[in-house]
Amino acid sequence: MTTQVPATSSAKILLDVMSALLQLPQVTIVERALVAYLNSLEPKDKIAIEGVCGRATQRREELLSEAAQQTASTGQPRTTYEFSRFCFKRDRIEGIGWEDEFRMITPIGVFQMTKADFYREFPKVVESESYKNGIYHYPKLPSKAERFRV
């Protein structure tokens, strides 16, 4: 899953420079920095974070398994993507037909709808600059999304 995280311009420059110098993808640089930070923590703090990470990984696997089971009973969506929040990805949605379905897998559940449902139920999202630029996500699950929970 690819997730964009906002960063300061100086952090972006630093990440670009480190990536170029080490000839590694930026995601690898960030991952190594996080692992180094985790390893620098006190043992009890490290254990607590590793426990949360293990639970998050288990929950993600459960959601993927549930999504696979739902696909068997509801039919295959035209496109599926993962995100850390309830999110609409323009590149995934705009490339499908009006009656084609897309599925998003999030830590809070799996949601599936047609492109027509999306345009009808979330018109302000479609009109937003964020969506036009590629992605629109909610900090909290909107109540109208519940009807699309798989």
pTM for the full predicted model: 0.56
Mean pLDDT of all residues belonging to the chain: 84
pLDDT number for residue 3: 52
Closest C-alpha to 146, from 98, 99, 113: 113
- What pLDDT is recorded for position 5? 63
Q: Is residue 13 part of a domain?
A: no
pLDDT at 4: 60
The boundaries of the domain holding residue 86 are: 74-148
- Residue at 66 is within a domain: no
Supply the angle between the helices 26-40 and 43-74 in degrees, to the nearest 10: 140
Q: Which residue has the tokens 């995934």?
A: 92
Q: What pLDDT does 117 receive?
A: 96
Q: Are 144 and 108 in contact (CB under 8 A)?
A: no
Give the Å distances, CA to CA, from 57 to 22, 102, 122: 29, 23, 30
On whether residue 135 sits in a domain, the answer given is yes
pLDDT for the residue 53: 78
Would you say residue 134 lies in a domain?
Answer: yes
Q: Are 86 and 108 in contact (CB under 8 A)?
A: yes
Q: Is 119 left (phi over 0), alpha (psi -120 to 50) or beta?
A: alpha
In-domain check, residue 7: no
| 55 domain residue, yes or no | no
The rounded average pLDDT for each run of 10 residues, N- to C-terminus, in the chain (150 residues) is 66 83 78 85 86 77 69 72 91 93 88 95 96 92 91
Instruction: Report the pLDDT value the prediction gives residue 74, as an integer from 0 to 100.
Output: 58
- Is there a domain that residue 4 lies in? no
First-to-last CA distance in the chain? Answer: 20
Measured from the Cβ of residue 105, the count of other Cβ atoms closer than 10 Å reads: 20
Whether 137 is in a domain gets the answer: yes
Q: What does the pLDDT look like over 110-137, one tens digit per residue?
A: 899 999 999 999 999 999 999 999 999 9
C-alpha 94/C-alpha 85 separation (Å) is 19
Number of domains in the chain: 1
- Two tokens at 125? 């999202």
Predicted local confidence at residue 26, as pLDDT: 75
